[in-house]
Structure 1
Amino acid sequence: MKPDPNEQFAALRQRYAAQLAERVAAILSAWQHLEQSRWEKSVGLEVRQLAHKLAGSAAMFGFADLGSVAREIDLGLQAWLEHDHLPDIVTRQRLAHQITLLQRMVPQDQSHTAEAPPAEPSQLSATTSSVSTAAPAEAAPTTTAVMPEQELSIPRETNKLPRTIILVEDDREYAHTLAEQLRLFNYDIHLVTDLEGLPTLVRAINPAAIIMDIVFPSGDLSGIEAIAALQRERTAPVPVIYISQRDDFNARLAAVRSGGHAYFAKPVDAGQLINALDRLTGNEEPIPLRVLIVDDDPDFGNRCVRELEVAGIHARAITDPRETLDHLQVFRPDLLILDMYMPICSGKELASIIRQQDRYVGMPIVFLSAETNRTQQQAALSLGADDFLAKPITPTDLVAAISARAVRARYLQRFLLRDSLTGLLNHQAVEEELAREFARAERLQQPLSIAIIDIDHFKRVNDSYGHLIGDQVLRSFARLLQQRLRQSDLIGRHGGEEFLVALPNTSLTEARTLIDSLRSSFAALRHYGPNGMFNVTFSAGIAGYPHHRSQVGVMQAADAALYQAKRAGRNRVIVDAHRDDAPPFVLATAKDTATTKTETVWRALIISSNGIQRRLLRQSLSERGFMYDMINDVEHALKYKSPTPPNLILVDMTQIEGTHTAKLVQLREYFTNARIVTIAPATAEPRAATTVTFGADDYLLVPLAAGTLQALLNRLAASERSN
């Protein structure tokens, strides 16, 4: 059963209420410290940050009055911090009174706070969320682990279901020919050769669209008249595309007046018709917008996540600004929301760091803060931010402001990364994505197959039919690839008439079957030029990892296989039969992964004070019957003694960050015969990868995906054997 949004929010509100006393107590403690320190500015800044955080989140959870008092404290301290002199006695008395008032406003009976009506209903609309709704005693998560969608083991079958289309055409031969073309693009076609049976069929199957001829024996506009009568009987009209030998103004006007969405004169180019069908039937699943929120208040961040998720936007909230770059690379958001004031790094500083990197120059940055000083807001915007939104903010305003900018950013990003003719990734973008896929295949030790496809004799097509027709051939082929491949597969136009397809977790045998099926379908596709109908074919070369151990090696092998296909007569698929000297890993199925053993007997030492990490690793090692021991930190590890020294060191990355060289050298010198592997959250993969350059043998991401640990051990064992 889907969770009740009201119950979810009530749980969040109750948890927030349970933490209010602790939050206010922290403000009081800092305030007392401020008075004892004779108004030292560093202490005053701490009080202001605590009040600022409370002011920004309280109203969203129904404590608007309390939030207003916190805002007064925030603004009062801000005015003092911006000047060199001490505040006068009146200001100090007013602040002290507001601190006392804040204490009194904390709910005493928290058992009923979740049921209390919100002070501002418009700011607390019911939403759904992926945020944990655990009991109030549990702390809210401060970060959200980002696992790349591509890490999942995706089955080879596409998840795109065929859309049902009714084709009404009394020319049986032409109808069957056109239906065959449309089925190549994953459409389910129902043929009707007379108008009488149309209403019954429409009621029976409720089609996604109707393709209707206009001229029938009963009249030159009979098709349009039949559609007009059909639509009058329906509450929701069916999208209609007209096809006809007639190309005159009167026929087109009648088609428009009947509600027709498109009109094609015969002979109809299947590629153009497919484009129109895709637009009408929505046969392209939209990818939800992604938003990353950086705010040191976990409750406020989680609340924003809830509001955005209910609007169909994928959102993630983190509290540590230092994790932002890792999340940007892994989660790849369309838009970034920043708080202005955070203890580790301010929002303005974080925006400057991000804008210094070319890859993020075009990504919108929106400040969402309780800051009301226009000068401070303008200073933040001058650093490259796109907007400044003030807390508290209603869910409607939040979604409206964020979605509009995110949509525009995605459109601009698509313009930069996509080939303007085919809509596929352009050369540079597909090369960058391929590097990511190759690195992922290496890390997970999963196969990756790459196909380089080239349209046969494409220059002849341009010379014989013109460049406009040639462009249409390329668009039709691109559409065929998009319809038949998975969303996780990588498709790009590599240049001219050459295309590149990368198939994650797909063996060479599976890749050959798939690409050859596409070859057969494309060869059957009919194109229309000034001189009549013609067909086009393609040739392809396939190579993959682990048969070749580098991306360059795979690309060279695929290109060589393509050259072989061309020399052998074209219109064929050749799979590279060569391998690098390095032995590939043994691919294990999901069934036997858990029982796969390496020849090496591993004795592990886990260096981590992270309870979750220790528990996950202990469970994984125990399942495989490995010996292991645990130590909290590197200092104690360097004093570790055992009659059977460990040959595998699993060290938490936070234990060595900032001192990569020194700590790793110490571990390497102390455990001379051990392999050293750093442990890091999935969101910190770029930082984890750098530890390898400082002396680590490998790295391991948690939470552990299926087969990840075994893949790591296979890699380490293979490198030991090669040494």
Structure 2
Amino acid sequence: MTLAPQPPTPAAVTDSVAALWDRRKDDVMRRAVVFDDVVVALLNGELTEELRQQAAREAHKLAGSLGMFGLPEGSRVARELEHLFETATALDHRRVPQLSALTLELRRELERPAVPAAAPAVRGDRRGSDRGAVLVVDDDEDFAAGIAAVAASVGLREEVAGSPAAARLAIARRRPDLVLLDLGFPGGSDDALALLAELSAARLPVFALTVRDTFTDRVEVARRGAVGFLEKSLSPSQVIEAVLDQLERGNGTSATVLTVDDDSFVLDAVRALLTPQGLQVHTLDDPRRLFEVVDDISPDLLVLDFDMPHANGVELCRALRNNARWTALPVLFLTARADPGTVQAIFAAGGDDYLTKPVLAAEFLGRVMNRLERVRLLRQLADTDALTGVSTRRRSTEVLNRFIRTAQRFGQPLCLAVLDLDQFKSVNDRHGHTVGDEVLRRLGELLTETFRGEDITARWGGEEFVVGMYGMTRDDGVQRVAELLEKWRHEVFTSVAAAPFSLSFSAGVAQYPFDGTDVEALYRSADLALYQAKAQGRDRVVPAGAHHTDPTDIDVAMVDVALVEDDEVIAALILHSLATRGYSTCWLRDGDEAAASLTGPLSPRLVLLDWDLPGRNGLAVLAAMAEAGVLERTRTIMLTGRSTEEETLEALELGAIDHVAKPFSLPVLMQRVRRALAR
């Protein structure tokens, strides 16, 4: 297959990254000496806060940089070191053997020769001389340099800003096509997240970068408008592949034309005619590679030569029509013959139109643009649900399949949510189908408002909707759909015949690849979780594989969250929010009951423990749990009202992992719960 213009070879990209490693290796080795300094300082009891923070910063940078040089084990070891250095209380002389072993393992990894990943796979001719500008917002020079080496080789221009403030200045000078934004700056992630929100408002696509998946909240990143979430342990080639995919999708309004002809002059002429029209033009001079390229680029129009070696245009068109995916793809033939037999063969094979050579420019352009406009109109009708404005089942299935391929390529999560309006039939029966249509229309609008443009929202029939979220784990998906449910409960609908009313929905969420490796399997898992949500009382979001308990049943051994709270109003609010997110719960009303249950048969993953309780107070309950060894398997968050700083510190020393002051925000508390359960 010959694709024009020719991209740099993968070997050229590999050589450039290897050369960069050769230049940087000695500097990396010198920086890694700080880990030896920490070990010596711990042995002598002289570890300073400054040295600990320096070691944490260096480990953070190495964790993000080594993977791009083909040293994933080095990245893993550096991440373990960073985790140890981040918590001052975890560092004492007892950590010396572990730190020494990790430092030695890291040094061995640094001595290995770099083996960079191959360059991003070629897709048509998208690697032209200038594929766009990328701004990297990161203070890690090694990471930025690795990205620059691969970006330049595929025709991307790169600029680096070492901070969010510098990024704002760079964007003011010249707007990039895409931003790679690190969230792990020394001063915290607040300024980076603020920049993310600003760029999203300006409709500038942003990939959020992080060293490890738990550094920041995917939900928070998605809420602020990032188009994707990339771990810095990915190689530069993988990062740039994601960038190219996004830039290609961002140009989605430009139709794609694939021309297959063994005559390079014809290919050049087609490109010269169509490119100025804003079309993405791909050319192919080997018909044997047609199916591979068609699957890869999904063209909107195929231009086929009639006479070619190996396989002629009629044979290719007939084979293409045998694939259900391409039965509707418009095919325009170019032929030097216009006899009745040739014309009959073209239409019998499934061709839509033909032009005779030599092709007249005006006629060719007219036929191509007319055909593409008809494709656009028909696709708009086929891809969009007329009532709700979200995608159709056919369109969403295509996108979900693409999500799965991308998730498999980059090792990223993907979740699928299935939503069903609760008791919707009664709305049609009581209020009429006009009001029922308004309910569906409003839910479609809310789905579009709530989820990112990179997500796919669709109506699969009746009152059932589907949401596909690339880069989201199952827990992330539950959180986002639960936020939608909480908004939806406040929607009020009116009708002439009855009083105003509101509706809820139930939902199930499944994750690729744990709950299924294809769309059908993911849907089955999410649909089963949806039925569990219905069985548990509706009005909630349940993750695939969840189990259900009655929150008043304290004899249940295993639950997700045990709430110890004597205020019935507060308890009802918290239990309802937990149930909305599909957590199994248990409610304990006083300290004595809680101490007996939590040190006995009850084994929750997390305890929300109020401070002021009848009987024993929360601190006494926590002390009993600590003495019984319960805190080794159960995490505890204290709900504090008027406790002193000394009491809060005592609770944390006993083993509580967090505290939330009353009055608290339920969304904030739910975020704390989700993070605690994800640890």
**Both structures adopt the same fold (TM-score exceeding 0.5):** no
* TM-score category, normalised to shorter length: 0.3 to 0.5
TM-score, length basis structure 2: 0.41
Rg (Cα) greater in structure:
1
User: What TM-score comes out, normalization by structure 1 length?
Assistant: 0.39
